[in-house]
Structure 1
Amino acid sequence: MQTLYRRLLGLMPRIGVQVTDLGPGAAVVSRRGGPYRGIRADKDTWVLRRAREGTGAAAGGGSAVRLGDTGALLLTEDADGPDERRLQLAAAEYLCTQHVTAMLELYGVNCVFDVGANAGQYARRLRRLGYTGRIASFEPTSQTFARLEEAAADDPDWRVFRCGLGREETTAEIHTGWNTMNSLLPASDYGKGRYGRFAKADTEEIRVRRLDEVMAEVLDGLPAPRPYLKMDTQGYDLEVFAGGGERIAEFVGMQSEVAVLKLYEGSPGMGEAVAVYEAAGFGITGVYPVTREATTGRVIEFDCVMMRADAAPVP
């Protein structure tokens, strides 16, 4: 059964309040143009009210933290506080998506290449945050592609492709059963020590295409294309990037999951990957942690957002 907290979050968009769910017990809420109206709930949830100048926003039965001067609040349901590490990573995902959405708007992006789409989580987040342009999602495995196809069914400007992308046109065996971490690369010793799912050895044969070979199909009928490349391919991003050839220059921005601690054999380190992207003309605009070691606090992977400065609009 939903808590009153969860029900109230579901009702808030009806009164013009944007809600971004960060997972169990936490959410970010914001509204442009004006103060928050008083919203009351039973004592086992929270009471949200606009704070007076110089004071924090209060929430009975939980907490509300003002996020700088943005007008947004971070709400938590549990009075004892959620797991801080989990909350930090959820907040980083929220901030990354907000930043990406702002860059798409600033650079006039009208087509997002969503490579490593899984079930369409990334595309759905972009839609929730207001991106209305074309999306092309690539997912090679049969079961996950079926979920992606279903997610995109009612969105006429969201196209889905059942294939992976890489350095050359070929077929390959991808490791499956790793949920959101399916990869064309084998797990490293470090990865096996961290994730029990890597003990599974199931594979599936998939089609692999080059990025520059699919661009004409994806961009067909789009006037003055300004594409953005998002890659989340579990250690294979540089192979996807290499498959863009000279047409990489057409992308005004990109996003790659870069590794500090390698989960996959043969995957590049963060420094190597960023150097390749910078050599192609992209500059970092944001870096956000994706996963951490609970015992040491070390970041395992970052989402790295990069834009081509010479493609920015002239002020």
Structure 2
Amino acid sequence: MPTLYRRMLGLLPRIGVQVLDLGSGAAVVYRRGSRTRVPVGRAADLVARGAGRYEVTPVGPEKKADMWVVAREPSAQGDAWGSVPFGESGGRLLVDETASAADERRFQIAAAEYLCTQHVTALLEKYRVNCVFDVGANAGQYGRRLRRLGYTGRIVSFEPTADAFEKLERVAKKDDDWQVFNVGLGREDSAQSIHVGWNTMNSLLPPSDYGKDRYLRFAKTRTEDIEIRRLDGMLEKALDGITDPRPYLKMDTQGYDLEVFAGAGERIADFVGMQSEVAALRLYEGSPRMREAIATYEEAGFEISGMYPVTREESTGRVVEFDCVMVRADAVPQTATA
């Protein structure tokens, strides 16, 4: 004999309310469209809009887990999802095995970007960084990523081009501890022209022959007049109000990082860590080779903690640029002992 609960569910369609009975005292009620129940293991259900087909893939060793991947359409080759353990970290990487095999280069670059951001986030915490200098901020992508990953200290962003700065300023207005400056940084205070119209690759330097061969965007260019300031002249304002400043320097200036670094002068010793895009293959005329850049940073007391490919040639597999993350080992805060 139906229970009162079941009889009530049976009456709802008569007044225009649809019911998806999940059993065990649970149901989904809705007025329009349709809903589909997709069993997920033994203890859960996915309730989806519409009546499309779904494929449920368990995630974990030997397909046994308490999490699942739910795909809208089954793969023509069957179960294409894979779950790869991240060593002994306890984490797992979900991969579409067919897609990652078809474009290994793109997969590797995406993995490197993820690992780099995780590493930098951990370093900011380990070194108790309370101010990140974001040089070559573009539209604020780096700063937004820091916030998503939990960094709560001050961000000071520098972006010289008008269009990108407008976007950066709009994003930073929502954040009380994010300062922005519409200037570039370099070896000397000056006025210069920057090549623009290259999306995130605007540069004070012209493209090299290799760069022109690699990127069609370099074929057309226009310039914009900008202000250049030395980093050491910006420090006091940027760090104002911070007790015991522990700054970190991130540079992504399309071949101009060493000029930015030189503009810090002796104040570079204030920074506990840094990040620079170093070139194995030069995209810009006059930019330093990777070995020259790293030697300069090392001479100033920084040591490599991570190298992550940023771009790689599809035809040869060669890395074009790396994100080089460096720290001052003696800047790690000492843990107090009883």
What is the match of residue 275 of structure 2?
Answer: 255
1:20-70 Cα distance to aligned partner (Å, 9 max, x none): xxxxxxxxxxxxxxxxx9786886565344446999x97555333222222
The aligned runs of 1:89-238 (5 Å cut-off) are: 89-238=109-258
Using the aligned pairs only, state the percent identity.
64
Q: Which amino acid aligns with 1:310?
A: D
Q: Which amino acid aligns with 2:85?
A: R
Pair 1:68 & 2:87 matched: yes
Change in 2 beyond 3 A, CA 1:296/1:223: same
What is the match of residue 273 of structure 1?
Answer: 293
Between the aligned partners of 1:258 and 1:38, the Cα distance in structure 2 is 48
SS in 1 for 2:334: coil
1:156-200 Cα distance to aligned partner (Å, 9 max, x none): 111111110000001110000000000000000000000000011
2:58–2:64 contact (8 Å) kept in structure 1 = no
Aligned equivalent of 2:320, options 275, 294, 300: 300
Q: CA deviation at 1:74?
A: 2.0
Q: CA deviation at 1:139?
A: 0.6
Between the aligned partners of 1:147 and 1:259, the Cα distance in structure 2 is 27
In the comparison of the two structures, how many residue pairs are matched?
278
SS in 2 for 1:262: coil
Change in 2 beyond 3 A, CA 1:100/1:39: farther
Question: Gapped runs of 5+ residues in structure 2?
Answer: 1-42, 70-78
Change in 2 beyond 3 A, CA 1:76/1:220: same
Between the aligned partners of 1:45 and 1:164, the Cα distance in structure 2 is 51
> 304-313 or 182-191, which moves further after superposition?
304-313
Change in 2 beyond 3 A, CA 1:118/1:38: farther
Change in 2 beyond 3 A, CA 1:45/1:118: farther
1:61-91 Cα distance to aligned partner (Å, 9 max, x none): 5333222222222223575546221111011
Between the aligned partners of 1:241 and 1:112, the Cα distance in structure 2 is 15
1:51–1:58 contact (8 Å) kept in structure 2 = no
> 176-185 or 57-66, which moves further after superposition?
57-66
Change in 2 beyond 3 A, CA 1:97/1:80: closer
Q: Which structure shows the higher strand fraction?
A: 2
SS in 2 for 1:297: coil
Pair 1:86 & 2:86 matched: no
Between the aligned partners of 1:44 and 1:293, the Cα distance in structure 2 is 37
1:218-254 Cα distance to aligned partner (Å, 9 max, x none): 0001110000000000000000000000100000000
> 61-70 or 152-161, which moves further after superposition?
61-70
Pair 1:47 & 2:47 matched: no
TM-score (norm 2): 0.77
> 111-120 or 70-79, which moves further after superposition?
70-79
C-alpha RMSD over aligned residues: 2.3
1:259-287 Cα distance to aligned partner (Å, 9 max, x none): 00000000000000000000000000000
Pair 1:311 & 2:331 matched: yes
Change in 2 beyond 3 A, CA 1:293/1:153: same
Between the aligned partners of 1:103 and 1:241, the Cα distance in structure 2 is 20
SS in 2 for 1:89: helix
Change in 2 beyond 3 A, CA 1:270/1:223: same
What is the match of residue 5 of structure 2?
Answer: none
1:122-165 Cα distance to aligned partner (Å, 9 max, x none): 11111111111000011110001111111212111111111100
Question: Gapped runs of 5+ residues in structure 1?
Answer: 1-36
Q: CA deviation at 1:312?
A: 1.1
